[in-house]
Chains A and B, each alone.
Chain A
Amino acid sequence: MTAQQQSNGTTATPAESAGTRTVRFRIKRQDGPGKPVRWETFNVPVQASSAGSGSANVISCLQWIAANPKTTEGKDSTPVVFDCGCLEEVCGACTMVINGKVRQACSCLMDDYAPNDGDEVMLEPMSKFPVVRDLFVDRRRLFDTLKRVKAWVPIDGTYDLGAGPNETPDDQQDRYRLSTCMSCGCCLEACPQYTLEDDEAKWATSFAGAAVISQVQYFNDHRTGATLKKKRLDEMSKPGGVSDCGNAQNCVQVCPKEIPLTESIGKVGRAVTFHNIRKFFSGS
């Protein structure tokens, strides 16, 4: 039950009203894995922002399309499928490629991206993860890789065993910056070494990517977390580990949380080198 051809052939223009402009969304759509790709355009009325309303963003426009799924050609279409959650850039769900650049859709404001009547915004799903439908992709590989590198602090259990280790404010600030990673996948989309892998069996040997390498650094930096440091560095020494990084440094450019990803990669890279030298001489 998809598009029903409308006979009049006119462009569906939303009613013009004072303070409203039209933004044209060009959206890459796909009904499911292996299904053909098509492009659809939708005209979305956007209110001029004022104190008290705030700017429209990509999410509010996709919500408008969901309620009014009619293309600019006047064809009945379907709500565009997309992933979102908090809408304030802390959950990491709504990553997509907007005008060719990967970012969170919620913080993508129409005041910046489409300030004038008739401006166009192009939406595509991330290309490094399998498409589920339309703009919704399957990022299980990212979470799977976190398991591989033991991205946790191995506590003795939830019983009352007193406080954790003290740390200096500077150390806390360093760890905090790494801990704001929301597994959104922007750094992976931008990375030339991170490529689409549909085959789950190959995830274990495919490049882990900046987000995960930075988590390795985060946990190795914690006093209790460091008890698994050797195992993490073993993992980082294997195919798909830190040496797969091509040093393009795109990751750090696109990170919405401004996490010093290249710094983490550098630190993990050096730790892996020392780890392997030590292993070579100690034989274990």
Chain B
Amino acid sequence: MSMPSQQQRVIVVGGGLAGLAATIRICESGLPVDLFSLVPVKRSHSVCAQGGINACNEIARQQGYSEYEHFDETVYGGDFLQHQPPVYEMAHMAPRIIDLLDRMGVPFNRTAEGQRDLRLFGGSLYKRTHFAGATTGQQLIYALDEQVRRFESEERVTKWEFWEFLRPIIGDDGRCVGIVAQDMRTMQTRAFRADAVVMATGGCGIVFGKSTNSVMCNGAAASRCYQLGARYGNGEFIQVHPTAIPGADKLRLMSESARGEGGRVWVPGMRNEDGSWGPHPDSARDPRQVPDDERYYFLEEKYPAYGNIVPRDIATREIFQVCMDGLGVGGGNMVYLDLSFKDSEELERKLGGIMEIYRKFAGEDPCEVPMKIFPGVHYSMGGLWTQYQPKDDLRGMEPDSPINMMTNIPGLYAFGEVNYQFHGANRLGANALLSCIFDGLFSGVGVVNHVRNHSGQPASGMSQSVFDSAVKAEEDKIADLTNRSGGENPYVIAKELGEEMTAASTVVKSGPRLEQALGTLGELRDRFGRISLSDGAVWTNQNLSWTRAVGDMIALADVILRGGLERRESRGSHFRTDHPERNDADFLRTTVATYDSGSGQARIEYEPVEIGLVEPRARTYGRVESEESEEKQEQTV
């Protein structure tokens, strides 16, 4: 492994949709890529995405839909917190991304005529979601994985699978010039040089203990960049998905497509004289025995226009509230997601993947009985803070600009879920696959331009000392963790962290509860200083890798809690009982967290959001009781 090379190279960290799309685009332009991943890229968390990918299409267009509508829905869904030019660009590129995936061979579901089939999804009244069964993420990542394998066979990509990213290497002029990574089999730690580094490392659900995320989605990679000076944007915005099935090890997603295909959410109840609903004394009985007039379809009643396909933050709060009101199935934290009235053959064809998951893990057939579900932590709208170059009229981004999706560290980029752009305060269903692939394909061009045009010294020619000292810093950190002997158990600390984060900082938050959680976090940080590893092996030591990540999760949890505490309003996924209204005057702002290495805590600042295309409006989705508050809010906007 000869390290110094004369050739310019790019490092991509993460092999999910964003990382693979970036790799393809960068390779295509002629630069070699080193692709790092904790897991074989085909096993990345993108495989878990189920429902589909949004794009304007000809049928919707002829019904009055357009790319602009897609853009507007995304901004409205995100409660106006996202910068609008990147969203505009994404919505307009979406149809071309679908075509490209189609050419790559993705088995999109088809209509009788052989056209790509479409379905309804949250936050839209038009069918604009393309899908492959209910395993769309898996099918898309396989298509990109196959294209990357092709480049790999031509030796234009080198994969470094089972290598863990430890830190970006920042040169004397402040540019990112490589990374330090560790082989999780041999435990070798070494530096890799590059003229640009793309972080495509996904979300941070594991900070909350149980979530719908895969085990590697702990946010450690993003946290390591943040702790070395990268800003973190909108950390407090965490999406809690309305429909997951609880498990001992994780919460398993039941896709929004279940509702998009007609699935209905209800609880057993009794209608009171005044028309409101109260608990049914026997709400745990066999749901098939519950007559229709004792089924409370609460989303349909409250949101007649959108019904079961209101955006996720709204569906989640309504389900949560129904359970808090004692209306949950059996009085517990559970509501029904009902597909049992649908044609089972059609269900298999369109939703087979999730039906199978429910059968395997819950032991019941959703074709026969309603599924029992509850909300679960799902997606991080926040992430590494990035820049972009808008067009003069704000309608999109300049396609060649090297600053598109670049963090505040020159040469360090963030693509996909780890990028804070696009989704604002709440992501719409089936926009994640789109934003990941869009980042890679669109902003990959800017990465190439950065590499070719930056004025600094090429990474290959830089002195060895900056790389050596970065490796030394990580080796020292490993030695420090290995030498600690206070007896605290890192798995227990992570479990307590997850429980506290879930209790204090998910569906419902308040100032006092967040303060309390920050206190708990301080205790956990102290205890982390006294951990003991249970494995001292110098070969394939997962104990070391996990423990190191727990420290990074604590740093990220601080960003999430502190951002939530400072944001004294409610917006999208962030709902404060002590500040229940949106407050545009003070908080239509991006939260920007910077790391203070002395205290280990985040410093929170705000910066303006680019809202030059769509003026913020009240976000009610036509809720029946909300006309009054809508008028009130419109007056304040």
Where the two chains meet, the residues of A that have a C-beta atom closer than 8 Å to any C-beta of B are: 1, 31-32, 47, 49, 51-57, 59-60, 63, 66-67, 69, 76, 78-79, 81, 83-93, 106-107, 109, 111, 132-133, 136, 138-139, 143, 146-147, 150-155, 157-158, 160-164, 166-169, 171-173, 175-176, 179-180, 182-183, 219, 222, 224-225
> Is the C-beta of B245 less than 8 angstroms from some C-beta in chain A?
yes
Please tell me which one of the listed residues A69, A89, A155, A167 contacts residue B104 in the complex, with CB atoms under 8 A apart: A155
B residues within 8 A CB of A92? 42-43
Contact in complex: B246, A88 (CB < 8 Å) = no
Please tell me which one of the listed residues B103, B116, B247 contacts residue A54 in the complex, with CB atoms under 8 A apart: B247
Contact in complex: A52, B28 (CB < 8 Å) = no
Query: If the complex has contacts A87-B215, A153-B105, are A54 and B361 also in contact, measured as CB distance less than 8 A?
Result: yes
Please tell me which one of the listed residues B116, B185, B215, B246 contacts residue A52 in the complex, with CB atoms under 8 A apart: B246
B residues within 8 A CB of A84? 215
Contact in complex: B540, A85 (CB < 8 Å) = no
Show 15 residue pairs from A and B whose CB-CB distance is below 8 angstroms, ordered by the A residue.
Answer: A60-B249, A69-B535, A78-B534, A81-B542, A86-B43, A87-B247, A91-B47, A109-B361, A160-B96, A164-B102, A167-B114, A169-B349, A176-B133, A179-B139, A182-B138
Q: How far is the CA of A180 from the CA of B141 in the complex (A)?
A: 11
CB distance from A208 to the nearest CB of B (A): 15
CB distance from B244 to the nearest CB of A (A): 10
Contact in complex: A143, B138 (CB < 8 Å) = no
Q: How far is the CA of A83 from the CA of B7 in the complex (A)?
A: 35
Contact in complex: B48, A86 (CB < 8 Å) = yes
B residues within 8 A CB of A158? 24-25, 28, 100, 441
Q: How far is the CA of A1 from the CA of B485 in the complex (A)?
A: 13
Main secondary structure of the interface of A (DSSP, over half): loop
Size bin of chain B's contact surface:
35 or more
> Which residue of chain A is the closest to B538 with respect to CB atoms?
A32
Q: How far is the CA of A172 from the CA of B214 in the complex (A)?
A: 28
> Which residue of chain A is the closest to B251 with respect to CB atoms?
A54
CB distance from B7 to the nearest CB of A (A): 22
Q: How far is the CA of A31 from the CA of B538 in the complex (A)?
A: 10
Q: How far is the CA of A81 from the CA of B248 in the complex (A)?
A: 19
> Is the C-beta of B36 less than 8 angstroms from some C-beta in chain A?
no
> Which residue of chain B is the closest to A148 with respect to CB atoms?
B153
Contact in complex: B103, A161 (CB < 8 Å) = yes
Contact in complex: B110, A66 (CB < 8 Å) = no
Contact in complex: B248, A47 (CB < 8 Å) = yes
Contact in complex: A54, B246 (CB < 8 Å) = yes
Interface string of B102-137 (1 = CB under 8 A from A): 111101111111111000000000000000110100
Contact in complex: B114, A93 (CB < 8 Å) = no
Q: How far is the CA of A101 from the CA of B16 in the complex (A)?
A: 30
Please tell me which one of the listed residues A57, A93, A133 contacts residue B247 in the complex, with CB atoms under 8 A apart: A57
A residues within 8 A CB of B138? 90, 180, 182
A residues within 8 A CB of B107? 172, 175-176, 179
> Is the C-beta of B363 less than 8 angstroms from some C-beta in chain A?
yes
A residues within 8 A CB of B542? 66, 79, 81
